[in-house]
C-alpha cells in the first residue's frame, strides 16, 4: 500500500482507464455508459468506493434508477451502493491475490537457496544497506517490481531470508487492504446518505491511518531482516517512517540487497536471471603461485 496509494493502486488506475473506454453515448456532451436496463452516467469504481453519479433510463423510471439517483424508494439507494462497494472490494482483493500467485510461481519458487553466511561485502555488521534509500531508480528492473508489485516484492524478500513466509506476508497485506477498502466504502456510503454527496478526503484519511498500522508491522520485520544480514535491529523508528511515507523506496532497497547476496536479478516481468552460482568457487578452485615443472629422470647406465 503506502501513503500515495490513496490515489489508487496502479492496477486500479489501469482498470479505471479501460473502463473509461467502454462504448458510450456523447450526444449530450457527457459520457453515458450503456447497461442492459439503465444508462449509468459518470459512474466509476475506485479505491473501494462507488461514485454513483446520475443513473438514467429514457424508457422507464425504474426502481433501480430512482434508487441510484437518491429518490425515496424504500432505501434502495443504500443497498445498491453497498452491493457496488462490495463488488469493488472483492475485485480488488481477487486481483491482488492473483498477482501474488503469479509472482510466487515465476520468482519466489525460482530463487536459489539463501546462503547461511552472508558475504562480507553484503554484510551489515559494520554498515547499513549497501544502496541508499533514494537510489531506487538506479535499477529499473527492481524499481518496476517495487512500484507495480510492492507487496509481492517485499514478501519475496522476507521469504528468501526466512523472516516471514510469502503467503503469511501476503495474507496480512491483503487483510490490511481489505479493511482499508471496507472502511473507506463505509465512510463514502455514510457521507452519501448524510449529505447526498461524497468526499474524496475520507479516502485520503483512510489510507493514511491504515498505512500507519501496516508500517508498524513492516518495520518490525525489517529489524529481523537487519539481524539476518549481520546488523542490529535498532532502527525501528526510521524504518517505520520510511515504510509509512516512502514504501516503494524501502522495498527496492531491501530487494537490491537480497538479490545481490543471491547473485540474481528479477527482471520485468517476473523473471529470475541468475548472475552467478555459489558452488563455482568450490568446484573450480583458483591456484595461486608459480607453476613448477618436474624434470623427467634420465635413463641409462652409470659409468
Tens-digit pLDDT profile for residues 123-148: 998 889 999 999 988 999 999 999 99
Beta-bridged to residue 33, according to DSSP, are 24, 40
Q: What angle do CA 142, 45, 149 make, to 5 degrees?
A: 10
Q: Answer for the pair 270, 103: CB distance below 8 angstroms, yes or no.
A: yes
Between 4 and 183, name the one with better pLDDT. Answer: 183
Nearest to 261 by CA among 229, 221, 285: 229
Give me 30's grid cell: 457527457
Q: Per residue in 196-238, pLDDT tens?
A: 555 555 566 788 888 999 999 999 999 999 999 999 878 999 9
The percent of the chain in helix, strand and coil, each rounded to the nearest 5, is 55, 10, 35
CB 157 within 8 A of CB 225: yes
Higher pLDDT, 89 or 215: 215
113: phi then psi, degrees, rounded to nearest 5: -70, 140
- Whether residue 210 contacts residue 47, with contact meaning beta carbons closer than 8 Å, is answered with no
Phi, psi of 276 (to 5 degrees): -170, 175
pLDDT for the residue 196: 57
Give residue 155's region: left, alpha or beta (phi > 0; psi -120 to 50): alpha
Local confidence band at 5 (pLDDT 50, 70, 90 cut-offs): very low
Residue 250 belongs to what H/E stretch? helix 247-262
pTM, full prediction: 0.67
Cell matching residue 300: 641409462
Amino acid at each position: 500500500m503506502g501513503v500515495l496509494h490513496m490515489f489508487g493502486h496502479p492496477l486500479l488506475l489501469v482498470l479505471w482507464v479501460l473502463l473509461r473506454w467502454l462504448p458510450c453515448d456523447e450526444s449530450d456532451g457527457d459520457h453515458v455508459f450503456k447497461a442492459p436496463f439503465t444508462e449509468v452516467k459518470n459512474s466509476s469504481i475506485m479505491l473501494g468506493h462507488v461514485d454513483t453519479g446520475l443513473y438514467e433510463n429514457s424508457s422507464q423510471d425504474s426502481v433501480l434508477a430512482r434508487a441510484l439517483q437518491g429518490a425515496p424508494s424504500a432505501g434502495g439507494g443504500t443497498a445498491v451502493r453497498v452491493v457496488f462497494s462490495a463488488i469493488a472490494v472483492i475485485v480488488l482483493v481477487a486481483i491482488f491475490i492473483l498477482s501474488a500467485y503469479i509472482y510466487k510461481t515465476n520468482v519466489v519458487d525460482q530463487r536459489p537457496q539463501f546462503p547461511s553466511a552472508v558475504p562480507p561485502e553484503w554484510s551489515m555488521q559494520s554498515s547499513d544497506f549497501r544502496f541508499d534509500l533514494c537510489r531506487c531508480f538506479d535499477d529499473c528492473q527492481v524499481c518496476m517490481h517495487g512500484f507495480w508489485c510492492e507487496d509481492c516484492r517485499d514478501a519475496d524478500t522476507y521469504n528468501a531470508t526466512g523472516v516471514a513466509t510469502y503467503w503469511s506476508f501476503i495474507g496480512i497485506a491483503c487483510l490490511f487492504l481489505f479493511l482499508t477498502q471496507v472502511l473507506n466504502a463505509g465512510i463514502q456510503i455514510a457521507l452519501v446518505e448524510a449529505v447526498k454527496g461524497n468526499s474524496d478526503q475520507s479516502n485520503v484519511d483512510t489510507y493514511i491511518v491504515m498505512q500507519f498500522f501496516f508500517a508498524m508491522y513492516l518495520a518490525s520485520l525489517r529489524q529481523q531482516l537487519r539481524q539476518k544480514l549481520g546488523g542490529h535491529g535498532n532502527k525501528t523508528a526510521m524504518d517505520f517512517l520510511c515504510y509509512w511515507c516512502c514504501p516503494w523506496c524501502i522495498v527496492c532497497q531491501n530487494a537490491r540487497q537480497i538479490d545481490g547476496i543471491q547473485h540474481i536479478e528479477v527482471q520485468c516481468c517476473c523473471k529470475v536471471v541468475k548472475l552467478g552460482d555459489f558452488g563455482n568457487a568450490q568446484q573450480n578452485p583458483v591456484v595461486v603461485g608459480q607453476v613448477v615443472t618436474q624434470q623427467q629422470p634420465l635413463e641409462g647406465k652409470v659409468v
